[in-house]
Structure 1
């Protein structure tokens, strides 16, 4: 069941972009761009990365290989076609891996800031975000969402809507609580 929550009007002024959260599958979002929590090799993987590559089909991987022959640095972002996804583009970002000693929160904030910058370059007005770094990279949902909200507040952007897509009820509840 999909649960959506909009940010109360009084809080929307804190961010350069309208922020919301819903419970669902990011690969089904009808937005201009979806964000992929990628690994630095840019060749697909598990979790959100694997789901996006599977749903997007071979065009996403082919574009990753062409655009990112040497991969992508932690905290950076770049885009590819979306292939069979309902979005126009995929914005890939590489979150810091706490288990590998990458504990600088600024890199996590950079992921979200760079995604907004890439979205601006593309002309994307609506962007669906996973919780970058939460999961196998060891950041908590609170840390990831907090980093995103920091970036959304500090980054001048033409993006009109940033939507967190939480894969679980627990993640949804945490993000909704932060937005309340």
Structure 2
């Protein structure tokens, strides 16, 4: 991974931490326009192809749910059980998954550019063809994903291993 890419990842992480620790009034005021989902509202098991831009999912169980081809740009998953979910061909650009369970998730050909996957578990997930360019992940997450990472994202053209910063 190039020095400037590491610098950008560090900057993005610092901004994310600042926003979580000390959110501003402007952010709070803007959240009223964002669709939020809680246990009472999450009854669907298929969000395939849906536009869920900036949707917020907090403390809900979405095990095995399909987000295949969904537009999840800027979406937030906070403390969400997403085990065995399907994110194939989904666009999770600028999304956040914080303290969420993403084990055994299908991320084939997904776009996770600039996503923040903070304190989330990703073991066993299929990242074939996924684009993680500028995404924020822990070193442990990257090491685990690099063991099976392969392919090129069909939309962005990014090599999965390169976007994760996997060693050659």
More helix per residue: 1
- The structure where strand makes up a greater share of residues is 1
TM-score after normalising by structure 2? 0.39
Q: TM (normalized to structure 1)?
A: 0.37
- Work out which structure has the larger RCO, using CA pairs closer than 8 Å and 6 or more positions apart in sequence: 1
